[in-house]
Structure 1
Amino acid sequence: MNVHDKAYELAKAIKESSEYREMKESRTTIDGDASSKSLLEDFRKRQNELQQKMAVGEMPPQEELEQIQKLYEVLSLNPRINQLFEAERRLSIILEDVQRIIAEPLESMLK
């Protein structure tokens, strides 16, 4: 068995999953709606800036965290964006499960 071949099979299975397809379709729908696309891009930009700060150990002010949470809640009221958020959440769960499963052999060696 070739591990790389299995990894490519896994990548293909993920791309063929309903979760991936739903996320891709949601993204295409949003890309076709200029206002939804603009709102989402602004949110992603702010979200990335926040994550970059946290990655270097800088804790953003509580006010900034609350602003991004409120923006998320407002965006969730947009049916197209909410559908994307839900699709991303479902795919994220699958990817976390896959990562956990892949890590199992290493965890047993570290014990």
Structure 2
Amino acid sequence: MAVNLYDAAYELEKVIRQSDEYKELKKMYDVVNADPSAKGLFDNFRHIQMNLQQKQMMGQEITQEEVNQAQKSVALVQQNPKIASLMQAEQRMGMIIGELNQVIMKPLEELYGKMQ
């Protein structure tokens, strides 16, 4: 009997969507998006974050001014309780995805040994 890895992946997607962690993340995301002030702060934060990641990936230098702007943006979003709750939920979901990834990668690690 052939195993379809994609069927298992889609089943995992369904289970993730049904998880309490995902439901909490979605709820916090909806709360932030329903508040124009919080949404504006969060969108600006994400924009700054993505620009810096893009520059890093392209090997471009990040200026001190950009670092300062990013730090100010982080401080602003962390002061907003709605965004802080969303970021905590994102962090929990990210940890779970990381743990799931470790489980998924286990056969390759056993075959090749842990990549250092």
TM-score of the superposed pair, with normalisation by structure 2: 0.87
Q: For residues 23-102 of structure 1, what are the structure 2 equivalents within 5 Å?
A: 23-102=25-104
1:32-83 deviation line (CA, Å, top 9, x unaligned): 1111101111111110000000111223124422431332122111110001
Deviation at 1:103, TM superposition (A): 1.0
Q: Name the amino acid aligned to 1:22.
A: E
Distance in 1, matches of 2:40 and 2:109, equals: 43
Aligned mate of 1:107, from 99, 103, 109: 109
Q: Name the amino acid aligned to 2:25.
A: M
Gaps of 5+ in 2: none
Distance in 2, matches of 1:102 and 1:62, equals: 39
Distance in 2, matches of 1:29 and 1:39, equals: 13
RMSD value over aligned CA atoms?
Answer: 1.4
Distance in 1, matches of 2:65 and 2:112, equals: 41
Structure 1 segments (4+ residues) deviating >3 Å: none
Bigger radius of gyration among the two: 2
Gaps of 5+ in 1: none
